[in-house]
Amino acid sequence: MMHMIARRLLQLPLVLLAVVVVTFALVWLIPGNPMQHEGRQPPPEVAQAMNRQYSLDSPVTFLGGYLARVSGVGWVLGWNTAPVDFGPSMRHPDWTVNEIIRAGFPVSATIGLGAIAIALVVGTCAGLVGGLRPGSWWDASTQTVALIGISIPSFVTGSLLIVLFAGKLRIFPIGGWGSPSQAILPMVTLSLPFAAYIARLLRFGLIEQMHTDHLRTARAKGLSRRQAAWRHALKNAFLPVLSFLGPATAAAMTGSFVVEKVFAIPGLGRHFVEGVLGKDITLVMGIVLVYAALLVVFNLLVDVLYVWIDPRIELASAPSR
Interface of this chain with another protein, residues 216 to 235, rule: CB under 8 A: 234-235
Question: Scanning residues 232 to 261, which ones bind another protein (CB under 8 A)?
Answer: 234-235, 238, 242, 245, 249, 261
Question: Scanning residues 190 to 219, which ones bind another protein (CB under 8 A)?
Answer: none
Q: Is 320 exposed, middle or buried (0-12, 13-18, 19+ CB in 10 A)?
A: exposed
Told to check if 156 binds another protein by CB under 8 A, we report no
* Interface stretch with another protein, choices 16-24, 146-154, 165-173, 284-292 (CB under 8 A): 165-173
Told to check if 157 binds another protein by CB under 8 A, we report no
CB 276 within 8 A of CB 27: yes
Rule CB under 8 A: choose which of 146, 183, 287, 289 binds another protein.
183
Question: Scanning residues 13 to 32, which ones bind another protein (CB under 8 A)?
Answer: 30-32
Rule CB under 8 A: choose which of 162, 201, 251, 281 binds another protein.
162
Told to check if 290 binds another protein by CB under 8 A, we report no
Q: Is 317 exposed, middle or buried (0-12, 13-18, 19+ CB in 10 A)?
A: exposed
* Least distance in angstroms from the C-beta of 120 to another protein: 7
DSSP 211-264: TSHHHHHHHHTT--HHHHIIIIIHHHHTHHHHHHHHHHHHHHHT--HHHHHHTT
Told to check if 75 binds another protein by CB under 8 A, we report no
List CB contacts of 231: < 8 A, sequence separation 6 or more.
218, 223
Rule CB under 8 A: choose which of 35, 146, 218, 294 binds another protein.
35
How many residues bind another protein, per CB under 8 A? 76
Question: Scanning residues 91 to 110, which ones bind another protein (CB under 8 A)?
Answer: 91-96, 99-100, 103-104, 106-107, 109-110
- List C-alpha distances in Å: 310 to 41, 75, 212, 239: 61, 43, 16, 8
Beta bridge pairs of residue 88: 96
Phi, psi (degrees; rounded to nearest 5) at 152: -75, 125
CB 69 within 8 A of CB 81: no
Rounded CA gap, 197 and 220, in Å? 32
Rounded CA gap, 133 and 290, in Å? 42
Rule CB under 8 A: choose which of 66, 197, 263, 291 binds another protein.
263
Told to check if 299 binds another protein by CB under 8 A, we report no
Rule CB under 8 A: choose which of 17, 171, 277, 318 binds another protein.
277
Rule CB under 8 A: choose which of 3, 7, 170, 321 binds another protein.
170
* Least distance in angstroms from the C-beta of 266 to another protein: 4
Contact mark string toward another protein, 113..152, x via CB under 8 A: xx-xx--x--------------------------------
In 3D space, the residue among 193, 202, 208, 213 whose CA is nearest the CA of residue 129 turns out to be 202
